Amino acid sequence: MQTNHLTRPALVVIDMQNGFLNHHSRHVTPAVVALVQEWTSRGLPVVFTRFFNEAGSAYEKYFRWTRLVDSPETDLAPEIAALTYGSPVVDKLGYTLFTPEGVALVAEHGWTDLVFCGVATESCVLKSAVDAFEHGYGPWIVTDACASDAGTPVHDAGLTVARRLIGKHQLLTVDDLLSRLTPTDAPA
């Protein structure tokens, strides 16, 4: 059953790093910045993630992909980094927020709804949302605040898969998300 509002939500900004922002995905940065600013103005928590590709990783082994190893590729985009003060940043070696640190963080704060935005829709955003679903949290994807560094068709494919894996009502726009927030959503 679909609920009208979110209960104890946290916004999760996925991998808005220099190495993932290109001509296909950079356009989403202003939407993510505006969402984070509005979210925090309501006193709601934000978590940021950063992906690191270690030497010998599965990405290197199976994809022959050796990017996002060092700065400046691994750095959060300057506009995003400016928003992280006081918010946790979860570093990860895989697709998902649900690292041991991420799992502990969500449990510690008692968040029940996790709202995902960022890059890339078809991989890290999708995997994190599916993991939230499988861990019993309300997963949400903000469709106009995420993108794929591989282009719009891949972003759209990620959203199609998300509808199948977490439910079509779990995908929403920034405006719809903000309209669902109620005064009870703020932490006690």
What string of H, E and C letters represents the secondary structure of 15-45? CCEHHHCCCCCHHHHHHHHHHHHHHHHCCCC
| Cβ density class 81-93: b for 16+ within 10 Å, e for less | bebbeeebebebe
Residue 124 is assigned to a structural domain of this protein: yes
Confidence at residue 181, expressed as pLDDT on a 0 to 100 scale: 84
> What CATH number has the domain bearing residue 170?
3.40.50.850
Enclosing domain of residue 69: 9-185
Residue 149 is assigned to a structural domain of this protein: yes
Residue 1 is assigned to a structural domain of this protein: no
Percentage with pLDDT > 70 across the chain:
94
Q: Are strands 113-119 and 138-147 parallel, antiparallel or unpaired?
A: parallel
Residue 97 is assigned to a structural domain of this protein: yes
pLDDT tens per residue across span 159-188: 999 999 999 999 999 999 999 886 544 554
Residue 77 is assigned to a structural domain of this protein: yes
Confidence at residue 188, expressed as pLDDT on a 0 to 100 scale: 45
Question: Please, which pLDDT band fits residue 3 given cuts at 50, 70 and 90?
Answer: low
Residue 96 is assigned to a structural domain of this protein: yes
Mean pLDDT to the nearest integer, 117-144: 98
Question: Please, which pLDDT band fits residue 149 given cuts at 50, 70 and 90?
Answer: very high
pLDDT of residue 2 exceeding 90, the answer is: no
pLDDT tens per residue across span 65-112: 999 999 999 999 999 999 999 999 999 999 999 999 999 999 999 999
CA dihedral angle for residue 18, residue 79, residue 28, residue 7, rounded to 10 degrees: 110
Based on the structure, what is the number of domains in the chain?
A: 1
Residue 4 is assigned to a structural domain of this protein: no
Residue where the block lists tokens 């939230």 = 132
Question: Please, which pLDDT band fits residue 5 given cuts at 50, 70 and 90?
Answer: confident
